Structure 1
Amino acid sequence: MTEQSKQVCSLLQAAQKDWKPPTLPQKAADMPQGDMPGDAVHISEAHRTKADAIFPLLLPQLAEICARNPYGRAVITVCGGSGSGKTGAAALLGYYFKQIGIGSYVLSGDNYPRRYPALNDAERLRIFRQGGMHGLTSGALLNPDVWQQLHTWQIEQRDADPTLCADVPWLAVYQAEGRKALAGYLGTPSEQDFDELGQTLARFKNGIDAIWLKRMGRDDAALWYDKVDFSQVKVLIVEWTHGNSDFYCGVDLPVFLYSTPQETMTYRVSRARDGAADSPFVTMVLQIEQRLLESQAHKAKIILSREGKVLSWSEYCKLAVS
């Protein structure tokens, strides 16, 4: 074990003995902020409950991980759907590490899509509709009357509405094939730049002290890189929906915050940042992403319920199917 590893492990081991949740700073600016442009961290009691449950469980696991890294460094991911509490919980974890003398950095995976939000939303819809049209043509279901009705629903943003399928069998085929095509895009390397993020994590774990990090805002003029000083950082916290994905490497300790698609939808509507947040198509997207998250949940080292309860794997499985 290197001297750097020993120092970090010593701090982690000391914290295990007498750690208590610290008093939070009065100023929001004194809390570690994620690096997503335009986002601000708002800490709630729900975030505090989650972070207080997670942090003491991290300490012994991180001690083992940091002991193996010659620079005493480790990567955590806090993942889950929108509104599960990722951003707030990650910020609190960063603050808690600071209080025990360990430097940390909160990195937002939302900086690593291949397209800025408006373009990605358009690409998702294009893929769904193209897949649906292929389903109609391959099933010999497309004719002028079908197209006229479908085109009307597309204009109205209702072509993904499952309630319309009861009396329209061909629409069920359209939606099923569109959904299949969409599932082949969401959370894959076609949508997210996992390679670049994986390379960033590798640089960090290999002891690089100055790393260029990608910044992506909400339009085509908001893309740049910042050079970040990691010389005092030992724990990199990645907060991201896809943080537990199979498509990249470098995460040592995944933490999964469980939430339902309904809870995610409520959060998106309240956020009111993206158009048509409660549309049938967005509902479909959230359902597909939820199944993706659940398929990766077995890799998580820590799983929390919506209420902040630590779940065993069997408890999580029962909750996920209920």
Structure 2
Amino acid sequence: MNKQYNRIAASSDEVIAKLSGAKEKVAAITIPADIPHGDMPGDKVEIGDSHTAKAKTIFSKLVDELEKTFKENKYGRAVIAVCGGSGVGKSEIASCLSYLLEQMGIGSYTMSGDNYPHRIPMYNDAERLHVFREGGIRAMVDAGVMSAQNMEVLKKWQIAEDDANAAHAETDTWFGSYLEGGRKCLDEYLGTPKETDFEEVDQIMKAFKDGADKLFLKRMGRDEASLWYDEVDMSQKQVLIVEWTHGNSDYMTQVDIPVLLNSTPQETLEHRRSRNRDGKLDSPFTMMVLELEQNKLVAQAHKAKIIITKAGELISYEDFKKLYNL
């Protein structure tokens, strides 16, 4: 037993030693565009200069956090969560961080949290919409505004995918109850165990930190035939990076270092507009989903060990609060 303990303790010391001088070394490293990335099937990762620059900025602070974490884990292991809103660069920056760690001799694996919803993307999108609409209709009943006439109008908006448009309440006051009720139910679904298997993700993280040499990790594509598990060798890995919108969720207990890639709602919207080649804007429902997810990110931000803005500036939580007038 003592022999095993000494071997494990030495392993932690060896990992920490690899961090020596890492801050200075990272500046000279060139990150190629075709580095390995997360394990989400079909995920398109396009690494640009802004991603590599942000990753290097984050890395300078990550080194200090990793050293503390490695000391606390007898296996010399740590779990990092890279979280943030839509289009903020989670996959790209997580991949860059993993690459930088590997260059320092520290084994790293990037895992996508998007593999762990209960439903494949198509069905989960449908469930989100169903939850919103069912909650809205029930709210109409509770508010005493359910009628055949109102439902006829609502049906037209639903068919047009415009039934989450707040502007309708200006001309049809009854719509306010539908919108408020639907939004409330949607908020209670998004980023909760109703939508995602947080328990499985937490168990994977714990197994990694407890020294597991191999892990079975889920793969979820976009159709029912694209769902399986791969056995992944973790014997030479000291860091598990989870890239995920919900990486800083209160439903997870095993994340050591949450990294928040902050993007204000305005910045997120501009990004999504810029990458829509056909110029089509997101539907009111999609914008509602993004807003609710953003609210959750803001509420969880106090736990982040590292926060970086879309412009690439490291900020404190106090500075973060000023951005959102908290």
TM-score, length of structure 1 as denominator length:
0.94
Distance 1:107 1:18 in 2: 25
Output one character per residue of 1:55-80: Cα deviation in whole Å (capped at 9) or x when no partner.
01011111111111111000001000
Change (3 A) 1:17 1:263: closer
Q: Any gaps of 5 or more consecutive residues in structure 2?
A: 1-7
- Find out whether 1:5 has 2:9 as its counterpart: no
Change (3 A) 1:131 1:289: same
Residues 1-322 of structure 1: pairs in structure 2 closer than 5 A: 2-16=9-23, 18-25=25-32, 28=34, 31-268=35-272, 278-321=282-325
Output one character per residue of 1:154-180: Cα deviation in whole Å (capped at 9) or x when no partner.
111111101111111110111011000
* Contact 1:33–1:40 (8 Å) recurs in 2: no
Change (3 A) 1:267 1:216: farther
Which amino acid counterpart does residue 84 of structure 2 have in structure 1?
A: G
* Contact 2:213–2:235 (8 Å) recurs in 1: yes
Cα displacement (A) at 1:271: 5.8
3-state SS of paired residue (1:168): coil
3-state SS of paired residue (1:78): strand
Which amino acid counterpart does residue 183 of structure 2 have in structure 1?
A: R
3-state SS of paired residue (1:207): coil
Distance 2:271 2:233 in 1: 33
Which amino acid counterpart does residue 82 of structure 1 have in structure 2?
A: S
Cα displacement (A) at 1:220: 1.1
* Contact 1:117–1:218 (8 Å) recurs in 2: yes
Please, what is the CA RMSD of the aligned residues? 1.8
TM-score, length of structure 2 as denominator length:
0.93
Distance 2:273 2:195 in 1: 23
Cα displacement (A) at 1:314: 1.7
* Contact 1:80–1:293 (8 Å) recurs in 2: yes
Distance 2:243 2:57 in 1: 17
3-state SS of paired residue (1:41): coil
Distance 1:206 1:135 in 2: 47
Distance 1:48 1:284 in 2: 31
3-state SS of paired residue (1:285): helix
* Contact 1:16–1:60 (8 Å) recurs in 2: no
Change (3 A) 1:110 1:268: farther
Distance 1:179 1:105 in 2: 36
Change (3 A) 1:116 1:284: same
Cα displacement (A) at 1:277: 6.6
3-state SS of paired residue (1:233): coil
Cα displacement (A) at 1:263: 3.5
Which amino acid counterpart does residue 259 of structure 1 have in structure 2?
A: S
Q: Percent identity?
A: 49
Which amino acid counterpart does residue 319 of structure 1 have in structure 2?
A: L
